[in-house]
Chain A
């Protein structure tokens, strides 16, 4: 599959944003008392910025972005439509939660709006994963690891951002480092995310082919079938969009790069931010983990597309997908 930059940026940033909102909701549901108002504003602003940036960048993928509003209509059948509806529904819930934490709404609002934010943000992450997992024509995506992958990586990146910015905020406000809880949470979720991603890679490496050139052409039972001549001399839309081949051969190296940037370095930096004495050092280490993780997730998401083979490539010479 062609890895469109707009879709990679969208899934990475909106995944992190909704992961962050889910954790903010979880925090409020478990512990309904407000942190400092400035921290609330900063954390919600970052989560909103990420989700809005993600949703906007997804519209750059569209041929007719001015009609994007129509995508909210077919939630009965389409996971893409459901993702749109859920993501937009998460905003009022998160706004209520932020307002309640700031004291603009009564404190009784904190727990219900926290639960609503948590559930809607999680549902959005599941819907994003289901868009890919429901495509039977792309066997490497329609497997049981795809949805857990989107949820785990969204929560993981959200937790890391939350840790980085709350630690930085504490240091800036001259507070003693209180980022230990978010740090351990980020560590736990990063290990979970890594486990799910390794599981996904293991699964796509070992999955049996779902379709063959013989079943695609209806010529089974007469020996091997191979492409003799293509129907056209240059690539067409189908080959450009679904037949992406470049750098699949580098998959192993890129996976290592994704693991080092996206998981190993952030784990070490977060561990450092917990162990280092002093709020400023902790904040620097925690903030430093964010660009590495985002870069690692961009490589991971690029691989998610580039490694996924579409069964239509069978018509263009692939033997089995």
Chain B
């Protein structure tokens, strides 16, 4: 059923500390490694060693610069499914393949029902869903549902693979529906933020903003470098139309 279940008291999710994330990509690799053998397997890579590799990943680590001049700082920003309380990706699904679990709020895809219409990926503001061109179905972060409840896994390791792999403990897993849980306390203490609250999806995951940088004042601003933009001439019908219309 793609209608949403009543809000669950338990809201499993991730908290990501943008202050301590160093952008090492370990979470992305650990995610790929676990899920390439888990319930969503395989996560195909096309042309992995070629010029245009195209791979399916549930977790991508972006890099941003925030602020200007000496106060600017680099922020490493892991992006994955936020397991929203009101996920548009679920309600738009015409087949019932997309669903939100009533018991813990995890958003999943039942691949046996998915027709690969891709509408859920259009509805998600966060780019959390990726399409498997081989199976013709949509795949997404499962919050490692096949780990966190897996009794064959050592109890201390029953957390998402990305959280387990993080060398700086920038990733935290827990119940964000319980205000007394350590993860909720961390969000309260560090003023954790919601991403794009204006779109009304009520994401569960929170991001902890970077702490202010310590720096001595009075030093001169460095000169900005000119950007280098590579221009590549294109081929094919669309590029021909592009050239004709550019005249």
Contacts and interface: CB of A to CB of B under 8 A. Distances in A.
A227 B193 CA distance: 19
Nearest to A308: B122
A317 B72 CA distance: 17
Contact of A231 (B3, B60, B73): B60
B95 interface: yes
Contacts of B216: none
Nearest to B89: A137
Contact of B71 (A223, A228, A236, A242): A223
B67 A222 contact: yes
B64 A217 contact: yes
Nearest to B130: A237
A94 B195 CA distance: 47
A71 B198 contact: no
Nearest to A228: B63
Q: How large is the interface on A (under 10, 10 to 19, 20 to 34, 35 or more residues)?
A: 35 or more
Interface stretch (B143-151, B153-161, B177-185, B237-245): B237-245
A67 B113 contact: yes
Contacts of B52: 234-235
A1 interface: yes
A225 B65 contact: yes
A41 interface: no
A310 B91 contact: no
A311 B95 contact: no
- How many residues of B sit at the interface, in one of the four size bands? 35 or more
Contact of B96 (A73, A80, A223): A73
Interface string A58-76: 0001111101101111101
A38 interface: no
B103 interface: no
Contacts of A33: none
Contacts of B241: 247
Nearest to A67: B115
Contacts of B246: 250
A312 B79 CA distance: 11
Contacts of A136: 88, 123, 125, 199-201
A211 B54 contact: no
B199 A80 contact: no
A219 interface: yes
A72 B2 CA distance: 12
A79 interface: yes
Contact of B2 (A64, A77, A131, A236): A77
B7 interface: no
9 contacts: A62-B115, A67-B113, A74-B1, A76-B1, A134-B88, A136-B88, A227-B62, A237-B131, A315-B79
Going nearest first, the 9 A-B pairs with the smallest beta carbon separation are: A63-B116, A63-B136, A223-B67, A81-B94, A312-B127, A231-B60, A71-B94, A229-B63, A70-B95
